[in-house]
Amino acid sequence: MRPLVWFRADLRTHDNPALSRASRDATRGVVAVYTICPEQWLAHDLAGAKADLILRTLEALSKDLAKLNIPLLVLEHPTFAQSPAALLKLAKAHACDALYFNDENELNERERDAEVTSAFEDAGLKVHTFTDQLVFPPDAIRTKQSRFYSVFTPFKKAWISRHQEGEARDEAPAPRTQDDMPCEPGTIPSSVNGFDRDRAQPDLWPAGEDPARKTLFAFCANEIKTYADERDLPDADATSRLSPHLAVGALSSLQCVNAALDVNQNKLDSGSKGATTWISELIWREFYRCILVGFPRVCRHQPFKPETDRIEWNKNTDHLEAWKAGRTGVPIVDAAMRQLSQTGWMNNRLRMISAMYLTKDLFLDWRLGERHFSRSLIDTDLANNNGGWQWSASTGVDAAPYFRIFNPYSQSKKCDPDGEFIRRYVPELADVPAPQFHDPNAMPALLRTTLDYPEPLVNHAKARAHAIEAFKAIR
């Protein structure tokens, strides 16, 4: 029996259930494949930085697989619609008898997988699928009424007790080295139509599971201790920065949870505050993925709370462009947005501040911000991005209450008290004292003119009152 292993958001050899099982079931050498769908990727607002990371991770994966005598082939077709026929043709050309793949949780991906499964089964080939994106299958954590959770705290409680009952899946055993290579590995393309690699930053974001695992273990040995206290300080760089690796699957969430458990005496919700806080963030990731499966409307650009679609968002394109460019006149928002455009990444607290600013101060539709983040972030991920945006816009599951609106200036004082992060990304403010960053009235108008730094686009207090009224009106 020769398996075809279809890699998707699981670009690794460790803890890869589909690869592990296929390599054991095989009686003739395993063939592996990855499908690139440029038009689909564009329709999904995939960032160029992430497309670049995928290509670089594929290079690393192809080398790792070759050591196991498994060739990685690459198929390219415009959209998911061509995947069933293209994969079946490849399976037949290499005399494969069965397809093995790990699950994905997004709606289009699940629909594609159903089509691929039908095509293979209709042709008399077997299909084996595995849970991989999450620690538990996405529909496993349910309320007593068998509903999907829509509030994080009880979800987390249920997740932890299930884990403590020993129901988490085990990490998949290492794949078996095959006797011989059935064909030569394919070439990993140097570019994907529609995606610019010019702004890729390989030094900042090394690709592949080796650097991903090194970062994970180093983080768990060191920075995790101070994570709870420092994660909201962007200048401290105190978070793991593993999100790009998780987004392409160079690491699994299970590997992350297990690494944290290893340094926390196997405890999920006690012991080191840093480790428990970090695990809690990983559970947020699990939660948002379950939401995609339980409430697929969020995959269709719809708000989780349907009534919030009646909100009449502002339509000011100048404000939108100023926000994207980091020229809102609010230093912490501008520093955050410039970190995003310069590095393809942003600290979580800054994501919350800049998303809340777009949706509540500028009162622009959260979908505009979600799309911009998706097209810019190296870790772009539908579940987390949509969850984060709908949380900030108060349209989502367990969202910020509409009247609890971040004041970007007090947030700025808390997360960048000395202004070092702001100065790093907004160099025109290099000589401005920190207190002027945290108070809209403290920076003299003349100084703004001299430094070519804009006046704030809106008055926070007035914008806040307007947002609260608009939300009240739809209740």
Q: Which residues contact 210 (CB under 8 A, 6 or more apart)?
A: 60
- Residues 346 and 323: their CA atoms lie apart, in Å, by 14
If one asks whether residue 150 binds ligand FAD (CB under 6 A), the answer comes out as: no
Q: Compute how many residues bind ligand FAD; rule: CB under 6 A.
A: 29
- For this structure, is 286 an active site residue? no
If one asks whether residue 397 binds ligand FAD (CB under 6 A), the answer comes out as: no
- For this structure, is 313 an active site residue? yes
If one asks whether residue 133 binds ligand FAD (CB under 6 A), the answer comes out as: no
Entry field: residues in the chain: 475
If one asks whether residue 367 binds ligand FAD (CB under 6 A), the answer comes out as: no
In the complex, minimum distance from the CB of residue 344 to ligand FAD, in angstroms, rounded to a whole number:
11
If one asks whether residue 246 binds ligand FAD (CB under 6 A), the answer comes out as: yes
If one asks whether residue 223 binds ligand FAD (CB under 6 A), the answer comes out as: no
- For this structure, is 348 an active site residue? yes
Q: Which residues contact 73 (CB under 8 A, 6 or more apart)?
A: 31, 32, 33, 34, 90, 183, 185, 186
- Cβ atoms of 192 and 48 closer than 8 Å: no
Nearest to ligand FAD of 231, 460 (CB atom): 231
Nearest to ligand FAD of 116, 355 (CB atom): 355
- For this structure, is 121 an active site residue? no
In the complex, minimum distance from the CB of residue 373 to ligand FAD, in angstroms, rounded to a whole number:
5
- Residues 10 and 104: their CA atoms lie apart, in Å, by 9
In the complex, minimum distance from the CB of residue 387 to ligand FAD, in angstroms, rounded to a whole number:
6
- Residues 229 and 439: their CA atoms lie apart, in Å, by 24
If one asks whether residue 344 binds ligand FAD (CB under 6 A), the answer comes out as: no
If one asks whether residue 7 binds ligand FAD (CB under 6 A), the answer comes out as: no
User: Which entry of 159, 284, 323, 391 is annotated as an active-site residue?
Assistant: 284
- Taking CB atoms, the residue at the shortest distance from ligand FAD is 388
If one asks whether residue 388 binds ligand FAD (CB under 6 A), the answer comes out as: yes
If one asks whether residue 46 binds ligand FAD (CB under 6 A), the answer comes out as: no
- Residues 67 and 466: their CA atoms lie apart, in Å, by 61
If one asks whether residue 288 binds ligand FAD (CB under 6 A), the answer comes out as: yes
Q: Which of 392, 395, 411, 412 binds ligand FAD (CB under 6 A)?
A: 392
If one asks whether residue 351 binds ligand FAD (CB under 6 A), the answer comes out as: yes
Q: Which of 373, 402, 409, 425 binds ligand FAD (CB under 6 A)?
A: 373
Q: Which residues contact 271 (CB under 8 A, 6 or more apart)?
A: 264, 265
Phi-psi region of 265 (alpha: psi -120 to 50; beta: other; left: phi over 0): left
User: Which entry of 69, 348, 407, 420 is annotated as an active-site residue?
Assistant: 348
Q: Which of 40, 239, 272, 412 binds ligand FAD (CB under 6 A)?
A: 239
- Residues 20 and 329: their CA atoms lie apart, in Å, by 52
The candidate with the shortest Cα–Cα distance to 434, out of 418, 454, 410, 450, is: 418
> Binding residues for ligand FAD, per CB under 6 A?
231, 239-243, 246-247, 281-282, 284-285, 288, 347-348, 351-352, 355, 373, 377, 379-381, 384-385, 387-389, 392
Instruction: Provide the annotated active-site residues.
Output: 281, 284, 313, 348, 366, 389
